[in-house]
Amino acid sequence: MAHSSRRPLPSRLYAIVDADVAARAGWRVPDLADAYLQAGVRILQLRAKDAPARDVLAWTEALARRAGEAWVIVNDRVDVALVAGTRHVHLGQDDLPVDAARALLGPAAVIGLSTHSEAQVEAACQLPIDYLAVGPVFGTQTKNTGYAPVGTALVAAARARVGTSDPMPLVAIGGITLAQAPAVVAAGADAVVVISDLLVDGAPEARARAFLRVLGEA
């Protein structure tokens, strides 16, 4: 069953704070999140695939204290979102089923789901999610998704499926750079999800501001 209390995304830039990527770039997770929040980012996802649960919980709580009205979304970890009280999660195709996550987190939670094909987009539209993610749009070295790049064609196909009148919000992820972001939005994405390109010049706050400018938010 589709989710009846869906809300619009608060920003066109959706920044992922990946613990491993942050560490390689010399950033602590809370400090990198602060840089994005200072730039005006209003959707943050914490992704920490290999970190101990206590670290993920501590980071989530730290982000929540700093975030104000911004969304703090935890990748995969419904348990952490529950304990931290943030209640927002992003799920993959092999994670806890969306129906189960919704039952645990409640109607006010924000739940996003990754999709990689038109069949997965179609199935996701029947689930109680708040936004749909499509990707990887371009090639990415951030993680091995197991899926080939889908290009902007799948973004456009997903937009056609979710519609434009009171639609489900659609985000695009995977190898998106500052130069490519406007074209991805033009293809139909409501927001672009970015990890590595926010760190390319070692000044993530300035880079995030640049993304917001090209996306018409600054």
Residue-level pLDDT at 147: 80
Active site residue 209: no
Q: Do the beta carbons of residue 16 and residue 195 sit within 8 Å?
A: yes
Strand intervals (E) in the chain? 13-18, 43-47, 71-75, 89-91, 111-115, 131-134, 170-173, 191-194
What is the separation, in whole angstroms, between the first and last Cα of the chain?
37
Question: Which listed residue (11, 42, 102, 114) is catalytic?
Answer: 114
What's the fold here for domain 13-214? TIM Barrel (3.20.20)
Note the pLDDT tens digit of each residue in 116-172.
999 999 999 999 999 999 999 998 766 566 788 999 999 999 999 998 766 899 999
Residue-level pLDDT at 160: 95
Task: Spell out, as residue ranges, where the chain has pLDDT lower than 70.
Answer: 1-5, 141-145, 165-166, 218
- Domain boundaries of the chain, sorted by first residue: 13-214
3-state helix, strand, coil in the chain (%, to 5): 40, 15, 45
Question: Which listed residue (66, 143, 161, 196) is catalytic?
Answer: 143
Q: How far apart are CA 181 and CA 166, in angstroms?
A: 23
Q: What are phi and psi of 15, to 5 degrees?
A: -95, 130
How many Å separate Cα 67 from the centre of its chain? 15
Q: How far apart are CA 101 and CA 105, in angstroms?
A: 6
Active site residue 66: no
